Amino acid sequence: MNNESLSVLLVDDDDVACESVIRGFKKGEIKFPVIIAGDGQEALDILRNKHAEKKIEGKYIILLDLNMPCMNGFEFLKEVRADESLSSAVIFVLTTSSADADRIRAYEENIAGFMIKSKLGPQFSKLASLLSHYHETVKLP
């Protein structure tokens, strides 16, 4: 079992989706701290320690929605991959889009996985299980 702590940066402007992820974690007894960013720019501010209130400590993974205001998921991916200090971030796309073009474009930015929200089960139960197993088996950068 991996004893390193892990935080989750959830980048999504949909409050209902964010609450569902958090409830799914609680139901699955996943104790990862979840930091929520409402768009890509806020997420970058958090990752670069420029946010006034929100911080990420230690190892983290990012759950990224694609369709957001201000800075969408694709703009965020491009910015993260271009930033030497963030380029190795582990990012899973968590979206409502099932478009092949979105999936292909996201994988071109070296994401770890592309998940469609509606396929993750009630209260995102499959997401909680996936992240728990991922944390137990994968050594993060």
pLDDT above 50 (res 1)? no
Of 55, 82, 76, nearest in space to 64 by CA: 76
Confidence of residue 34 (pLDDT cuts 50, 70, 90): very high
Give the right CATH number for 7-137 from 3.40.50.300, 3.40.50.2300, 3.90.470.10, 1.10.3720.10: 3.40.50.2300
For Cα atoms 91, 95, 99, give the angle at the middle one, nearest 5 degrees.
Answer: 110
pTM beyond 0.85: the answer is yes
Sign of the CA dihedral 100, 87, 11, 75? negative
Structure confidence at residue 24 (pLDDT): 87
Q: For tokens 């050594």, what's the residue?
A: 139
Task: Provide the percentage of residues in the chain whose pLDDT is more than 90.
Answer: 65
Q: Reduce the DSSP state of residue 13 to 3 states and report it.
A: coil
Structure confidence at residue 4 (pLDDT): 66
Residue-range domain boundaries for the chain: 7-137
Q: Reduce the DSSP state of residue 9 to 3 states and report it.
A: strand
pLDDT digits (tens, 9 = 90+) for 64-113: 999 999 999 999 999 999 999 999 999 999 999 999 999 999 999 999 99
Which parts of 1-141 fold into alpha helices (H)? Answer: 15-27, 40-47, 73-82, 100-107, 125-137
